[in-house]
Chain A
Amino acid sequence: MAAGRRGLILSLAIMAGLMAVLLASRGWVQASGLWGVGMVEVVMVAALLASSWVWWRGLDEAAREAHKFAWWWGGSAALLVVGLLLIFVVKTRDVSRLPMPDGHTDAAAYVVAGALGVMLLEVVGYGLAWLGWWMHRR
């Protein structure tokens, strides 16, 4: 991808961040309210999709192949681990062994911890598979 396009995306992201800070500081957007969070999330998703599209189009075919491999093998392996954890929790009904951030043990904290755990495992699996693909082809 051309350096200019990367710079444009970075500039837009920084401008969007500054705009969000400005709106929040003026009280126009409640960062903790349902609508405020929803609006920020919609903007984030749109920006992520747009930048991902530009980034993907800039990749050559080998780089794309590495990501497809990582998506399938890394993502699937991570889901396998998630499945094992799920079976463990369902069978034992014991979530006290799970590490909880800040000691919160309410339902929302468990949902957040579960979602973050899945995301973390997916990222680790994806990263390892991606690295393995390139290391094998050095």
Chain B
Amino acid sequence: MKNRLKVLRAERDWSQADLARRLEVSRQSVNAIETGKYDPSLPLAFRIARLFALPIEAIFEDG
């Protein structure tokens, strides 16, 4: 699944570690999600959406 996590993070000048701390996950998890190699669960996707104040479909896209 593709996502805009890296772009959104860069816009806020956050490192992967910063984002990981805000989401209460490991930096490795953030990296895996950003590279599209790990799809987050629905609860984590909602946490990400809330953090960036965006709807889920504005961050993740199917395919």
The answer to whether A and B interact is yes
Leading 3 A-B pairs by shortest Cβ distance: A62-B29, A60-B25, A137-B32
- Number of A-B residue pairs, CB cutoff 8 Å, is 30
Q: How far is the CB of A12 from chain B (nearest CB, A)?
A: 25
Bound complex: CA A63 to CA B31 (Å): 12
Which B residue sits closest to A138, measured CB to CB? B31
- Chain B residues lying within 8 Å of A60, measured Cβ to Cβ, are 24-26, 29
| A-B contacts, 6 listed (Cβ < 8 Å) | A60-B26, A61-B40, A61-B41, A61-B44, A63-B29, A134-B28
Chain B residues within 8 Å of chain A by Cβ, number: 14
Q: How far is the CB of B61 from chain A (nearest CB, A)?
A: 19
Interface of A, helix, strand, loop or mixed by DSSP:
helix
Q: How far is the CB of B44 from chain A (nearest CB, A)?
A: 6
Q: How far is the CB of B26 from chain A (nearest CB, A)?
A: 5
- Chain A residues lying within 8 Å of B31, measured Cβ to Cβ, are 137-138
Answer whether residue A136 sits at the interface, using C-beta atoms and an 8 A cutoff: yes
Beta-carbon contacts under 8 Å, B16-47 to A: 24-26, 28-29, 31-33, 35, 37-38, 40-41, 44
Q: Are A61 and B32 in contact (CB under 8 A)?
A: no
Which A residue sits closest to B32, measured CB to CB? A137
- Chain A residues lying within 8 Å of B40, measured Cβ to Cβ, are 61
- Chain A residues lying within 8 Å of B41, measured Cβ to Cβ, are 61
Q: Are A137 and B24 in contact (CB under 8 A)?
A: no
Q: How far is the CB of A130 from chain B (nearest CB, A)?
A: 12
Q: Are A62 and B26 in contact (CB under 8 A)?
A: yes
Binary CB contact string for chain A from 51 to 89 against chain B (1 if under 8 A, 0 otherwise): 000000000111101000000000000000000000000
- Chain B residues lying within 8 Å of A137, measured Cβ to Cβ, are 28, 31-32, 35, 37-38
Q: Are A62 and B24 in contact (CB under 8 A)?
A: no
Which A residue sits closest to B23, measured CB to CB? A60
- Chain B residues lying within 8 Å of A62, measured Cβ to Cβ, are 25-26, 28-29, 32-33, 38
